[in-house]
Amino acid sequence: VKDKILNEIDLILENIGNERENLIPILKKVQTLIEGNYIPHEVAKHIADKMNIPESEVFETVSFYAIFNDKPKGKFMIRICDSTVCKINDSYSIVESLEEVLNIKTGEVTKDGMFSLDYSPCFGACDISPAIRVNDIVYGNLNHEKIVSIIERIRVGELS
Ligand code: FES
């Protein structure tokens, strides 16, 4: 991790305040600074140091909350809902479509770093299930053709 990033992290800590209860907002901000949208170990240690809290507390927070990643993700983070309503509406076939179109397994990142694919708990789009979230955008009522079209449109820059 570059010094420039560590300096920016120090600024975030200064702005938000390095009290323990601010750990989550701090991590949220910091994650957006890092290419691959994750909290590397070195960064977690740096934050723990600056906040005067045990490293384990930062590691546990990162692994507990689904919004945080401890490994690099794609520029476009695809999350497929694996809660009940989506499952009933055959989210499994959507997982298969995504894995086929992206040529990766769930939990992996494409070689070009563009897409990652992960499961997510329900994100409130049950009425349009099966649904995925690509970064902050939700797509629902999915089928194979829609998946192909969404991925293609993201690849050519039509969707962001
Ligand atoms: S069950 Fe899938 S979005 Fe709610």
In the prediction, which pLDDT does 84 show?
Answer: 97
Pair 31, 39: CB distance under 8 Å: yes
**pTM here?**
0.81
In the prediction, which pLDDT does 160 show?
Answer: 78
- Residue 1: pLDDT band with limits 50, 70, 90: confident
In the prediction, which pLDDT does 28 show?
Answer: 96
Q: 86, 94, 139: which to mutate for ligand 1, most atoms within 8 A of CB?
A: 86
In the prediction, which pLDDT does 66 show?
Answer: 83
User: Considering the chain, what percentage of its residues have pLDDT values greater than 70?
Assistant: 100
Å from CA of 91 to ligand 1 middle: 10
Å from CA of 138 to ligand 1 middle: 11
Q: 116 — phi, psi (to 5°)? A: -125, 155
